[in-house]
Structure 1
Amino acid sequence: MNPYSTLMENPVDPANIKDFIYPAPQHGVDEAYDSEGRIRPHWRYLLHSLQSLGHDAIEERQKKTRRILRDDGATYKIYDEPDANQSWQLNPIPLLINSDEWNQIETSLVERAELFNLLLQDIYGERKLVRQGIIPPDLLFSHHGFLRPCQNIKLQGSHQLILHGADLVRAPDGSMQVMADRTQAPSGAGYALENRTVMNRVFPSLFRDSHVHRLSLFFSRLRQRLHELNPNGGIARIVVLTPGIYNEAYFEHAYLANYLGFQLVQGSDLSVRNGYVWMKALDGLKRVDVILRRVDDIYCDPVELKGDSRLGVPGLLEVARLGHVAIANPLGSSVLENPALLRYLPEISQALLGRDLQMPSVKTWWCGNSDDLEYVCKNLKHLLIKPTYRRPGLYEVYGADLDDKKLQAWQNRIRKNPLQFVAQEYVMGAQTPTWHQGLIQPRASVLRTFAVASESSYSVMPGGLTRVNLDVDKKIISNQRGSVSKDTWVLASEPEKQISLRPLDTQPAAESSNALPSRVVENLFWMGRYAERAESAMRLLRTVFIQLNKTEKLPDAVCRTLLSAITHVTATYPGFTSLHTALLKNPEPEMISIILDQQRLGSVANNLMAMVHSAEQVKEQLSSDTQRVINDIGDELEQLKIALEPDALSAPEEALAPLITTLLAFAGLIHESMTRGSGWHFMEMGRRLERALQIVNTLRSLLVTSFDEVEQETLIESSLLCGEALIPYRRRYQNGIRIDQGLEMIMLNSKNPRSLIYQLTQLEHHFADLPDNRDEFSTEHKLLLEATTALKLSDIKTLAKTANGIRGELDQLLSRLQYLIGTAAKAIGQRYFDHAEGPQLLVKNSEWQDHL
């Protein structure tokens, strides 16, 4: 049953709704109210449901929304505010659009996408529009998005523009108008999908009963279209090309790659050879057929476009020219984002379609036109000023927000470079119900929606990304200006039918587990190493805290040994190896620094931040549970800063326990949930290599020097505590703590998962499963074999013997093992990880380049 028809039969009193929860607008257009101040029928069910929920329940849903987004790792970076909260912001009240209005919007957007597709073909084809004087030559050729090397490059099929995005705003008369077009690498579709996923979880009944059109069909059509673009035959290998983790929308890139089932790559992961694009995978080069790019086109090829770019692939444009790779959207499509085109779009539409567009654009003036320039300069205070070419640091401004001095400065700037600016009529947009400060308040909104090319035309996403400003004083709605998002519900009159778009005669390719870029496995490898490094350091610090806080005072020699072990194991020199007696008398500040100082190399915090950074680089490889635990690590580290405040310092070893437990949860998830592919092997190798090195370092620091029996017992006990082996030791040996038995438990007990021999055995299994490493003659395999053999051939009794206060045999063995294991780790990096430098400019003098 449709809830809206039920409400029509038993209508909710609009007065009750607006008095309790959402007031009627005092001025302007409102999405929820008609021109006569009555609640629109399709909003009644939602507002009635919110009224039934009440304030506390809505606030609780908002908290759940934030928590889910955080657990999903949903972020958005605001460039001008690097220290601001980067979590993606979703308001819990959606924007509603009824079915009848959406049909009109959808038809208009299909028409607009078709027009821009024809426009793109003309610009990089015959350029009839320029020859006929419909588009001024200066408008096209002065734009940085017009790329001459892209002339006559064509994709398969009739549609060159694969994705089209449009920013829609509701005008004062209630009609929809287009503010801007996004054609280069339209962002926001992935965030719209994440918003929908979250809203479906937070308001399951409301979502289900509202009969909201699904978004999944849009992404199915996108996936299908990308496969159809394959120029090389067979099953396409498709990749998503991202600029990397510092891009504001990196979460979306990783999210879409996972959802669509494609590999996320950076420019350094790809290479051009023999006229094709290849992905550098562990088991060799893999040909890439289709690239869904999220890199601005000017950065995509340092050979023919921007010479100092590190984000692209040298030679990519030539491969596209040969027709051996399909790029969506095609390089050069950013020229269509020039807002000056809106000024001439009616004439362009008549020339290419033979009719006016159904949905008009916001009125636009291009300052390259002399009449427009004079109008803009005279009316600057009432207009929206935009650059014709978007780039970081250069944003649109609203004249009403500027004082007279700034207005004059802008006028001078525009007159100096008139070709580079447009002005638009300011359209505030319709107010929409928005949850803010415990109330539902009206806020102006902008909707971005998307169209994807299909076999015959375009398919429009039934919904999109709605954005609002919570601050009423902000007039420009933009994510980079701190706007928040909303889900967009297009309401069906009846439940939507389930439709499958999977071709019946094809099966998805079985991708090799080794088909990962070497950059990905390198980050997984170091992610394992950093995690283990941090955990080992915390175990040692916790053990030392326990020993220092015992009832009986430790002998000075033992205390000095324990403290210097912290410095040696964490490599936070000079630390406790210095001759300052004050450090030994009051060691806690130095220990806390080793835990919390993020800027200190070797500290727990520094290693954890490095681990999180590595995890961010491979976000698409991690499950949502793993992402949640990584977020918890950051939270626990923040809590640790509070727990280890000098004024509140009590039982500091207990304060470390939650963070250690969270790291154990991370290790458990990796072991129990991660597919046993190359990525898992490299992460586990990183853990095992690092744990082996930490064991060796700890033993060298604590047990090589000989002490009296009582003092020696404390150090052996500390070694066992660090390796979680004290309780098993006591069960196994009933005759007290002895050096030979302790060494046997830590070094040679193959049943102890934290023993040295166990790490080497596990590494041997991982080495055997690596690509091209099934023999025993690789460098790392030889080094591991030598280390394992040396350890197995060692005699515990001999290692425990002392001469001149030193266990020389033990120190010699541990030193040799440290060298072999460390060298094996370096050999893995040299063999499997790509350290190639990006392309370098032969000449870097900008003035010289300007004269080319």
Structure 2
Amino acid sequence: MAAALAAPAAPGHFDELRGHVSVNATSSGASRQGLTPIWSQFFDQSGLGDLTSLKRRMANPQHQNHGNDIVKIDDEAGADASGAQHPWSLELFPLIISPQSWQQIELGVLQRVRVLEGVMADVYGPQKLLAGGLLPPALVQGHPGYLRALHGVEPVGGTHLHIAAFDLARGPDGNWWMIAQHTQAPSGLGQLLANRASLSRQFPQAFEAMHVQQLAAGYRALVQGMQRTTVAGARAHIALLTPGPYNESYPEHAYLARQLGLSLVEGSDLTVRDQRLYLRTLNGLEQVHGLLTYLDDEFLDPLELRADSRLGVPGLLQTIRAGHVLMANAPGSAFFESPALLGFLPALSQHLLGEELALPALATWWCGEPAALAHALSRLDEKVIKPAYPASSWGPASFAAVPARSLTRSALGEWAARIGRDGDAYTVQDDLPLSQLPTCGREHGSPTIVPRSATLRVFAISDGPQSWRVLPGGLTRITTANEDWASLQHGARSADTWVLTHGPGDVDRTTLQAQPKSIVTRRAAENLYWLGRYTERCENTIRLARLTLECLHGEVPPPAPLLTWLGDLDARNALVPPGAPAANLAPCEFERALVEGLGGGAATASVGFCLRAVQLAAFAVRERLSQAHWNMIVQASQEFVQRSAEAIPAGDHAASDAMRVLDSASTQLAAIASAQNDHTERDDGWRLLGIGRYLERLGFLAASLVHGFETGSVRDAGGLKAMLALFDSAASLHAPPPNGREVAALLDLLVLDRENPRSLRRIAQALAQCLDELASGGPGKASPLVLQVPDPDHWDLAQLCTVNAAGHHDRLMDLLQQCMSAVRALSDKIGALHFAHTSVPQSIGGA
């Protein structure tokens, strides 16, 4: 039984598994018995009712993830072997909330969001609450999150807060308390949805039998409510504004945008014209009517807020003033996140609603008031010390919450002195022993159930003007073994939250049926184009490096022309550093330079460099790639750098070790290329990815042929074989050509063949087709870029084989130079046409 495996909660903490406060933490007797009915039902319905199945499931939790993109069911939080954190580690067990408990939470949260909305309307309007002394001006106008630039501005639809998050904790008495509120880009909606997708598949029978309330209706209501509030109605274009892939919550932003059918955009994707907000796409500007923003307010507009911001949109605040864009949330709500405000909300609720708060907050004192300061200092050892203001470029320094019980006597005295000197900057809050949830753990190497403290973040979302609902569930955050306060930013795990209903008729079975707009931003297009180019460049350089090492270690010493050709190509493609010895003069030294440079150091842009470039380009369009695709790219890059470094000190075996590393990378690149071709949406972004690949391939192979004929390496059997290998076309030559026809056969296969996917003809045709299909040309209208591609229909084998008096293939060289020039010209024109940022000053005025 689970009760026999589960240790009791720590003394003084509410035990979620048993439904009462824990008195002692002994591991025997009644303390391990007596699960609540809902937890007994969970273990029975989930197939974990017996000890053997429970241990088996807990022993291999990662095998049960069902392919979820962004969460991992795990039994430990923190760093992996490479030092990377697991910010999305998911607990195997959910937090289960009864219908009665949820009713209390839902009522209290809805009431609180109404209070906050009333406060927003007042402080950005008549400011009667400030004048009447119900709110200290220091906590509103003195807070860096209050935006004076928006005073007097009425938001679109009249609603300021479309999403509000409330952190709750269950105390020893089993009651829920509010400990924090979040209104500025509150995180967790994406992770909450991902957790539910993973755990409902993990325990489908229990999920259905326990009548767990579903989430989809709330998410749909959020998007539909935003659309209805805008002038465009159901046709409104809603986008999700993210700080970008370097933000730790970017995977959540990408996942949420994909699930809700929203365009995922960064500030550089947007522009303001005539006080309206537009998205830069390959097809021109498309108006954005609403923004679900995950960008802190101070970064939104560098013209009026933080001048050094590169994440926002110049002129965005003027667009908001003009009423042309709906913001969720309206900027300027960050002052609500000061814990100092919690102590003023009961009086505000009475004033604005005529109601007492149904969901109490932990007793909180802002030390900027003399009476509160005196009380706080007299009982400081029982409190948690928090900053009244956040860390900001505009405000005072901040710090993490400090439980006074964790301090030594001298440290507590130092804190008391600081608070006494500058009370305005500090808030103290009652210390609450958090309830403890069953989690997966290990004891002496065996799986066991370990109690961990947890908090619950619930979300109120607007489903229309001045109307809200509470998502029936939440993001349960679980502390590590040595902490009492959960923080996702510090590696804490999360758990799904199951809100039970009274029966199947109470379950809302609405599903998410998002229909994402097929929009390719210019930023995404540019990164997809370079993703294609660098992927192809990786394949080419791997094949070239492998071929060079193979020739250097062949049974017969390679002829000088072949070594000259390979050495020139290696240098041209940065496989060896400048000044490396010539391959035909010092082959051993050349080989050493080649092997040492494979990882791509400061002196070379070799295979390792190209793999990192692939990863960087893919990182910028992470939302468009599957998790498997992204994982393959990261794995290929990391493994190659590590293994190539291990091959360097191998002495006489360095070349053979390096070839094995190159073979492994080649296999991984083939899988990556397959994912790009077969598992990417067939839109203009995919076409640009293909264009990047074909341009890179055409330029590389044309240059390889030029150097092959210039060095004379193609005039012997070894050189012909090497050229076929570099074109990856050795298998396409079904029989050795007759004597005297070797060059003709080579050119027929590598230049003119209609079936060989790596012939210049096929590459040029594929490139022209992709260029022609780009939407910028319009329906039935040929793209002008197509005219830049050499036309294979005018190529003739007899002419290409013709030699002049000096034995040179002038016609062939002209064709190859034409291909190389076309690559350079097309690259420049594609960049100017599709990727170049506007150089026209952005208008923020007008009607």
Alignment match, 1:480: 489
Which of 569, 573, 577 is the aligned partner of 1:573?
577
In terms of mean alpha carbon deviation, does 150-159 or 643-652 score higher?
A: 643-652
Q: Supply the AA of the counterpart residue of 2:139.
A: L
* Alpha-carbon distance in structure 2 between the residues aligned to 1:580 and 1:140: 75
Deviation at 1:493, TM superposition (A): 3.4
In terms of mean alpha carbon deviation, does 83-92 or 644-653 score higher?
A: 644-653
CA contact (8 A) 2:113 2:460 kept: yes
Task: Answer yes or no: is 1:828 the counterpart of 2:830.
Answer: yes
* Alpha-carbon distance in structure 1 between the residues aligned to 2:331 and 2:798: 63
Alignment match, 2:719: 715
The secondary structure found in structure 1 opposite 2:777 is coil
In terms of mean alpha carbon deviation, does 545-554 or 363-372 score higher?
A: 545-554
Alignment match, 1:17: 2
Q: Supply the AA of the counterpart residue of 1:30.
A: D
Alignment match, 2:366: 366
CA contact (8 A) 2:576 2:594 kept: no
What aligned pairs does 1:768-787 form with structure 2 within 5 A after superposition? 768-773=772-777, 780-785=785-790
Alignment match, 1:7: none
* Alpha-carbon distance in structure 1 between the residues aligned to 2:516 and 2:436: 49
The 3 A distance-change label for structure 1 pair 141 and 564 is same
Task: Answer yes or no: is 1:56 the counterpart of 2:66.
Answer: no
Deviation at 1:31, TM superposition (A): 0.8
Deviation at 1:643, TM superposition (A): 7.4
What aligned pairs does 1:730-745 form with structure 2 within 5 A after superposition? 730-731=734-735, 733=737, 738-745=742-749
Which of 414, 417, 423 is the aligned partner of 1:418?
423
Alignment match, 1:530: 534
The 3 A distance-change label for structure 1 pair 458 and 734 is farther
Unaligned runs of 5+ in 2: 22-30, 393-397, 843-847
CA contact (8 A) 1:779 1:824 kept: no
Deviation at 1:735, TM superposition (A): 5.7
CA contact (8 A) 1:522 1:833 kept: yes
Alignment match, 1:847: none
Alignment match, 1:296: 296
Taking structure 2 as the reference length, what is the TM-score of the superposition? 0.87
* Alpha-carbon distance in structure 2 between the residues aligned to 1:598 and 1:206: 54
Alignment match, 2:620: 617
* Alpha-carbon distance in structure 2 between the residues aligned to 1:536 and 1:292: 42
Task: Answer yes or no: is 1:45 the counterpart of 2:54.
Answer: no
Alignment match, 1:434: 439
Q: Could you report, residue by residue, the CA deviation over 1:250-298 in whole angstroms, capped at 9, with x for unpaired residues?
A: 1111111111111111111111111211111111111111111111111
Deviation at 1:198, TM superposition (A): 1.6
* Alpha-carbon distance in structure 1 between the residues aligned to 2:70 and 2:594: 31
Q: Could you report, residue by residue, the CA deviation over 1:537-591 in whole angstroms, capped at 9, with x for unpaired residues?
A: 1122222233333333334553454244223224653164669976x21555433
The secondary structure found in structure 1 opposite 2:524 is helix
Q: Supply the AA of the counterpart residue of 1:29.
A: F
Q: Could you report, residue by residue, the CA deviation over 1:459-480 in whole angstroms, capped at 9, with x for unpaired residues?
A: 111111111123x222331112
What aligned pairs does 1:14-93 form with structure 2 within 5 A after superposition? 16-23=1-8, 25-35=10-20, 38-48=34-44, 49-50=47-48, 51-65=51-65, 68-69=68-69, 84-86=84-86, 88-93=88-93
The 3 A distance-change label for structure 1 pair 191 and 634 is farther
Fraction of identical pairs, as percent: 31
Alignment match, 2:557: 553
Which of 591, 594, 600 is the aligned partner of 1:591?
594
Deviation at 1:384, TM superposition (A): 2.2
Deviation at 1:378, TM superposition (A): 5.1
CA contact (8 A) 1:779 1:827 kept: no
The 3 A distance-change label for structure 1 pair 70 and 580 is farther
In terms of mean alpha carbon deviation, does 65-74 or 313-322 score higher?
A: 65-74
Alignment match, 1:102: 102
Which of 693, 703, 706 is the aligned partner of 2:699?
693
Alignment match, 1:276: 276
The secondary structure found in structure 2 opposite 1:763 is helix
The 3 A distance-change label for structure 1 pair 407 and 63 is farther
CA contact (8 A) 1:432 1:443 kept: yes
The secondary structure found in structure 2 opposite 1:795 is helix
Alignment match, 1:491: 500
Alignment match, 2:732: 728
CA contact (8 A) 1:115 1:352 kept: yes
Alignment match, 2:478: 468
Q: Could you report, residue by residue, the CA deviation over 1:162-213 in whole angstroms, capped at 9, with x for unpaired residues?
A: 1110011112222111111011111101001111112233333343433322
* Alpha-carbon distance in structure 2 between the residues aligned to 1:407 and 1:97: 37
Q: Supply the AA of the counterpart residue of 1:84.
A: A
In terms of mean alpha carbon deviation, does 300-309 or 628-637 score higher?
A: 628-637
The secondary structure found in structure 2 opposite 1:32 is coil
Q: Supply the AA of the counterpart residue of 1:487.
A: D
CA contact (8 A) 1:231 1:323 kept: no
Task: Answer yes or no: is 1:447 the counterpart of 2:456.
Answer: yes
Alignment match, 1:347: 347
Q: Could you report, residue by residue, the CA deviation over 1:345-402 in whole angstroms, capped at 9, with x for unpaired residues?
A: 1111111111211111112121221233344445545432222333488433333444
CA contact (8 A) 1:598 1:609 kept: no
The 3 A distance-change label for structure 1 pair 403 and 527 is farther
Deviation at 1:738, TM superposition (A): 2.3
Q: Could you report, residue by residue, the CA deviation over 1:105-132 in whole angstroms, capped at 9, with x for unpaired residues?
A: 1111111111111121112111221111
* Alpha-carbon distance in structure 2 between the residues aligned to 1:532 and 1:603: 13
Alignment match, 1:3: none
* Alpha-carbon distance in structure 2 between the residues aligned to 1:838 and 1:82: 45
Deviation at 1:821, TM superposition (A): 0.8
Q: Supply the AA of the counterpart residue of 1:662.
A: Q
Q: Could you report, residue by residue, the CA deviation over 1:677-727 in whole angstroms, capped at 9, with x for unpaired residues?
A: 211111111111111122123333444201595xx3222211211222111
CA contact (8 A) 2:385 2:426 kept: yes
* Alpha-carbon distance in structure 2 between the residues aligned to 1:496 and 1:698: 70
CA contact (8 A) 1:69 1:87 kept: no
Task: Give aligned pairs, total.
Answer: 810
* Alpha-carbon distance in structure 2 between the residues aligned to 1:291 and 1:348: 29
In terms of mean alpha carbon deviation, does 517-526 or 487-496 score higher?
A: 487-496
Q: Supply the AA of the counterpart residue of 2:159.
A: H
Computed over aligned residues only, the root mean square deviation of the Cα atoms, in angstroms, reads 3.5
* Alpha-carbon distance in structure 2 between the residues aligned to 1:536 and 1:467: 47
The 3 A distance-change label for structure 1 pair 266 and 445 is same
Q: Supply the AA of the counterpart residue of 1:457.
A: S
What aligned pairs does 1:153-164 form with structure 2 within 5 A after superposition? 153-157=153-157, 159-164=159-164
Q: Could you report, residue by residue, the CA deviation over 1:223-243 in whole angstroms, capped at 9, with x for unpaired residues?
A: 211211213456101111111
* Alpha-carbon distance in structure 1 between the residues aligned to 2:538 and 2:58: 40
The 3 A distance-change label for structure 1 pair 102 and 810 is same
* Alpha-carbon distance in structure 1 between the residues aligned to 2:98 and 2:90: 21
What aligned pairs does 1:754-769 form with structure 2 within 5 A after superposition? 754-769=758-773
CA contact (8 A) 2:6 2:449 kept: yes
The 3 A distance-change label for structure 1 pair 369 and 592 is farther
Alignment match, 2:24: none
* Alpha-carbon distance in structure 1 between the residues aligned to 2:289 and 2:314: 16
Deviation at 1:499, TM superposition (A): 4.8
The 3 A distance-change label for structure 1 pair 699 and 577 is farther
Deviation at 1:519, TM superposition (A): 0.6
Alignment match, 1:845: none
In terms of mean alpha carbon deviation, does 274-283 or 38-47 score higher?
A: 38-47
Alignment match, 1:750: 754
The 3 A distance-change label for structure 1 pair 428 and 502 is closer
* Alpha-carbon distance in structure 2 between the residues aligned to 1:644 and 1:839: 53
Deviation at 1:102, TM superposition (A): 1.2
Deviation at 1:142, TM superposition (A): 1.0
* Alpha-carbon distance in structure 1 between the residues aligned to 2:229 and 2:568: 62
* Alpha-carbon distance in structure 2 between the residues aligned to 1:205 and 1:234: 37
